[in-house]
Structure 1
Amino acid sequence: MRSRVATVAQRPLREGVVPVESPDALTTALLSAAARRRGARFTGEPIRVAVLDRNQLMRQALSALLARDPRIHVVGDACDLEQCIDYATHRAVQVVLLSADTDAATMIRQVGALAALPLGLHVIVLNSEQQPDEVLDAFRAGAFGYLPWSASVTELIEAIQMVADGMSYVLPTTAKALATGLRAPPPSVAPDSSRLGVLSARERSVLERIARGFSGPEVAEQLGITVKTVDTYRHRIHEKLGVHHRSDYVRIALDHDLLHRELT
């Protein structure tokens, strides 16, 4: 079992998907990575990092802090996803530090969009929370690392180095929280194959967009329908799947791998 764990934890992740088959397997891999992470050595050129945070003071402070370390080259700090993608495309970014100071659905959408880029960049989520479900969702969306804001500068640099090498990274406290606190998906959103089959094509399109963080008016504009019609579809989705909150939509989308495909 030990050799299996080491293989999973060290294998480079592709196409934004953690190569583990269950939450328990992900937890095991992260625990292994946490135990082995100490002693990472700096070799070669500085790691090219971009910072994504809507708060100007926070991203500039983080960029200035990282710029003091010769192992890191901050290529830019972005206030939104579009600007970050531009940096990634034109400045050969290797690691993106993504501040999850918005709602969970927005964080999932941002991580998924960056992980889907054919550039080989890796995302580290920085968050004030270490809730097991949020950590798991971040990794399932394509993140390579997850750090609380309480982490030290040394731990942040360490995370950047290991993530740049294609290895997953969390603090031991986060890994232990995953090991003891992961909850099972609610029965109403269990990922059985028949779950989405009860939805019409348009209901599924609405579900996917809500899960990606789009508002009712944005969904209406994208689909060429009224906001009232969007509300009608949401009511039907609620009746068929028993979902109530946006987090339920995100959970269904993650369980059925809807966030790594083109919108329908």
Structure 2
Amino acid sequence: MTPLPVLIVDDDDLMRAGLRAVLSSDDRLRVVGEAADGREAIATARRLAPRVVLMDVRMPDMDGIAATREIAGVAPEARVLMLTTFSDDDYVLGAIRAGASGFLLKRAQPEELIAAIHTIAAGESLLSPSVTNTVIHRLAREPEPDPTAGRRLRQLTPRERDVLLLIARGLTNSEIAASLQVEESTVKTHVKRILSKLNLRDRVQAVIFVYESGMVRAGEVKPQTR
């Protein structure tokens, strides 16, 4: 199996060296490049087309959130995993809105980091339950209305709307399947179609869409079953 290409972005030389050492312990991963700031990260991602980008949040010249937003355009197949020493919800929400697929604190254990990279590369999102709750509460308080939401929602079937609302509650595919009394494979198909129809990268963006579309507010996620 071809190793997953990973790009490391951090303005700290020692941190980049440490991350490279951790990733070298997994032969399923290959560090294809490094960058010390956001602008260099964009140029490197365009040139090397990494599958996963490990992105620091705070960097000089251009920070990780701004770089993530640009990378989504120049390397659309790349998935960004934000790494930071901060757990402030401003950083989390900014990173997710910019297109990041996950958020991990730098104090995470090496095995957690490696598992997170594989999760992101597989097309899943990565937020701890506490971070997810923080994001949801912040979105409920301060949503950014999406003027295209109504048109996009009309593309979904009633059952797809049900699944979308359950995603917004943070349920896994198996939990959604149990709730709707269907096979997990059916749920996976629904999720794939929802993301495609709404032009969303992953489940985290689906959560954001639910709140910013006005579908629900805090405490109002009550999907119907059929």
Give the TM-score category using the shorter length. Answer: 0.5 to 0.7
1:134 aligns with 2:91: yes
Measured against aligned partners, the alpha-carbon deviations of 1:151-197 in whole angstroms (never above 9, x if no partner) come to 221221111111112211122332243355656229xxx7598xxxx
Contact 1:133 1:182 in 2 (8 A): no
| Cα displacement (A) at 1:139 | 1.0
| Cα displacement (A) at 1:98 | 0.4
1:60 counterpart SS class: helix
Match of 1:147 in 2: 104
Contact 2:57 2:65 in 1 (8 A): no
Match of 2:122 in 1: 165
Match of 1:123 in 2: 80
Q: Considering only aligned residues, what root-mean-square deviation do their CA atoms show, in Å? A: 2.6
- In 2, the alpha carbon distance for the partners of 1:120 and 1:192 equals 24
Larger relative CO (CA 8 A, sep 6+): 1 or 2?
Answer: 1
| Cα displacement (A) at 1:136 | 1.9
- In 2, the alpha carbon distance for the partners of 1:54 and 1:156 equals 19
Contact 2:57 2:64 in 1 (8 A): yes
The AA in structure 1 aligned to 2:70 is A
**TM-score, structure 1 normalization:** 0.49
**TM-score, structure 2 normalization:** 0.57
1:177 aligns with 2:134: yes
Contact 2:55 2:81 in 1 (8 A): yes
Which runs of 5 or more structure 2 residues have no equivalent in the other structure?
Answer: 148-211, 213-226
Contact 2:38 2:59 in 1 (8 A): no
1:90 aligns with 2:70: no
Match of 2:68 in 1: 111
- In 2, the alpha carbon distance for the partners of 1:133 and 1:48 equals 29
Per mean C-alpha deviation after superposition, the further-off stretch among 116-125 and 169-178 is 169-178
Contact 2:37 2:63 in 1 (8 A): no
Measured against aligned partners, the alpha-carbon deviations of 1:91-127 in whole angstroms (never above 9, x if no partner) come to 3311110011248x83321110111214411111111
Which runs of 5 or more structure 1 residues have no equivalent in the other structure?
Answer: 1-43, 194-254, 256-264
**Structure 1's 99 and 133: CA in aligned 2 closer, same or farther, altered over 3 A?**
same
1:70 counterpart SS class: coil
5 Å matches for 1:19-34? none
Q: Which has the larger radius of gyration?
A: 1
| Cα displacement (A) at 1:132 | 2.8
**Structure 1's 115 and 192: CA in aligned 2 closer, same or farther, altered over 3 A?**
closer
Contact 2:49 2:75 in 1 (8 A): no
Number of aligned residue pairs:
147
Measured against aligned partners, the alpha-carbon deviations of 1:57-94 in whole angstroms (never above 9, x if no partner) come to 11121112211211210112111233323332333311
